[in-house]
Chains A and B, each alone.
Chain A
Amino acid sequence: MSASASFSRTDMAARLARDIPEGWYVNLGLGLPTLIPDYIPVDREVVFHSENGVLGMGPVPAKDQLDTWLINATKQNITLLRGASLFHHADSVGMIRGGHLDLCVLGAYEVAENGDIANWATLQNDVVPAVGGAMDLSAGAKRLWVLMEHTTKDGQSRIVKRCAYPLTAAGVVKRIYTNLAVLEVTERGFEVIDMAPGLDFDTLQARTAAKLYRPTTTR
């Protein structure tokens, strides 16, 4: 029950990576989600998508492999794995909106118990607003998971009853991986399906601004 009972950032990424089955097509948003591929075993065929027109995105290139014409949505240089494909942006977002991606993992400011997500930089929280592909990914992927810190730096819960920030999409988040827990968004609200080692349910509830439920079935 110590305050330090939490997953590290890399633990969080590894915890989520464990739940991605072989064969899925996956898009990863900016920030924390970009850590996930490091924890997918090299022999597990998970195909990573990038909005700017890539399926089969590989890791950062070694110096002698660098092709500066290849970048990801974060605008970092990437490699292409065997079987990769390139396509234009309208096809790429069509892929997203058309429900062809099995999973999208985004960072967020807040997630509400009804599955609402707020993660875009609007006038409310920044000078120049920017949305990128977040609204398309949220609306279009078969599953939306969020990977984020459970609370803000000053301890405010990012897991809420209703989002205070402007929404990216309504009622779309299926699961949240935080430094404290893994939560499933269900009809009745948040079900706790995993907790950081050493953390108990009541402590987790105390740090969460929405009601938590123990899962109805044992997982």
Chain B
Amino acid sequence: MIPERFSCHGKQKRVKTQRDEPTGNFVIDKRVRNVEEALQGIRDGAVILLGGFGVVGQPQELLTGLVHHDARDLTIVSNNAGHGSPSLPRLFATGRVAKLICSFPRPTPAPFDELYRAGKIALEIVPQGTFAERIRAAACGIPAFYTPTAAGTELARGKETRDFDGRTYVMERALRADVALIQAWRADRWGNLTYRGTGRNFNPVMAMAADLTLVQTRHFVELGELDPENIVTPGIFVDRVVQIDSEDPPPA
């Protein structure tokens, strides 16, 4: 049940005399009614973190919403380039994605392959651990870090290196984003989240690293129903949550 009146960002400050009244008008209520509302305010040139490993944990309905959005010149940050995904190839097909930051863009479904070969989309390949750590660093206020990954390889070319204790490390910059699109399993109105199976993958770290974190959840639960011991993403990182009866990932 979504209340008629709500606040998207928990910014609506009103004095409450009774907490958790059942009719809505809560101080912190991040629920929105549909995907369109969830995606409001995404601007041209936005850097967008996209949760999911392959199709598992990838927020299909938010992505489909982005296909119909008008923001252009987007940078998508995603581990894959749409393999098995019903919606990411459609987003590339709109021509509104200028760049993909990715660790493993293969298999490479159409149209990414053609766009890449035609020079119509830029591709930045990042080792998977560096990819995750750049996002985590951004989330945690660390502007750069040194990693042993890729030292002495093509992917370290032109990057600052430094030796610590006799080993060479590569400096990598944090990857801060404007928007994160997240798939959760359960959520409450504060934006506390849990995930399902390996659908967790990049979602928790991406949820922490964007100015605007947008979540689609399979289930909404009442505040207090999620066991605090088991919450994976605390609501502080989340801006909007939309409940979608999305399908389970297909067998793989």
- Number of A positions contacting B (CB below 8 A): 44
Q: Is the interface of A mostly helix, strand, loop or mixed?
A: loop
Task: Please determine whether B54 and A128 come into contact, CB atoms closer than 8 angstroms.
Answer: no
Residue of A66, A88, A167, A168 with most chain B CB atoms under a 10 A cut-off: A88
Q: Out of B132, B154, B232, which one reaches A93, CB within 8 Å?
A: B132
CB pair A136 B128 closer than 8 Å:
yes
Interface centre among A75, A76, A92 (most CB of B within 10 A): A75
Q: Does A204 contact B (CB under 8 A)?
A: no
Residue A20 lies at the interface, judged by CB distance under 8 Å to chain B: no
Residues of A within 8 A of B136 (CB): 90
Alpha-carbon distance between A170 and B169 when the two chains are bound, in angstroms: 12
Q: Does residue A89 face the partner (Cβ distance < 8 Å to B)? A: yes
A122 to B105, CA, bound (A): 11
Which residues 107-156 in A have Cβ within 8 Å of B in the complex? 121-122, 126-136, 139-140
Interface centre among A68, A90, A126, A170, by most chain B C-beta atoms within 10 angstroms, is A90
Contact assessment for A52 and B250 in the assembled complex, using a CB-CB cutoff below 8 Å? no
Bitwise, A73-104 to B at CB < 8 A (1) or not (0) is 00111000000001111101110110000000
Asked if B198 contacts A54 (CB within 8 A), the reply is yes
A199 touches B (CB below 8 Å): no
Residues of A within 8 A of B133 (CB): 90, 93-94, 97
Say yes or no: B56 contacts A128, CB within 8 Å.
no
Which chain B residues lie closer than 8 Å to A86 at the CB level?
197-198, 200
- A122 → chain B closest CB, angstroms: 6
User: Chain A contacts of B199 at CB under 8 A?
Assistant: 69
In the complex formed, the residue of B with least CB distance to A67 is B197
Q: B-side interface residues toward A, CB under 8 Å?
A: 53-54, 56, 79, 81, 83-84, 102-106, 108, 112-113, 116-117, 123, 125-130, 132-133, 135-136, 147-155, 196-205, 232, 248-252
Can you report 23 residue pairs joining A to B where beta carbons are below 8 Å apart?
A: A50-B198, A52-B53, A52-B198, A53-B53, A53-B200, A70-B198, A77-B251, A86-B200, A88-B200, A88-B203, A89-B205, A93-B128, A94-B133, A96-B129, A122-B154, A131-B103, A131-B104, A131-B125, A132-B103, A134-B127, A136-B127, A166-B154, A169-B151
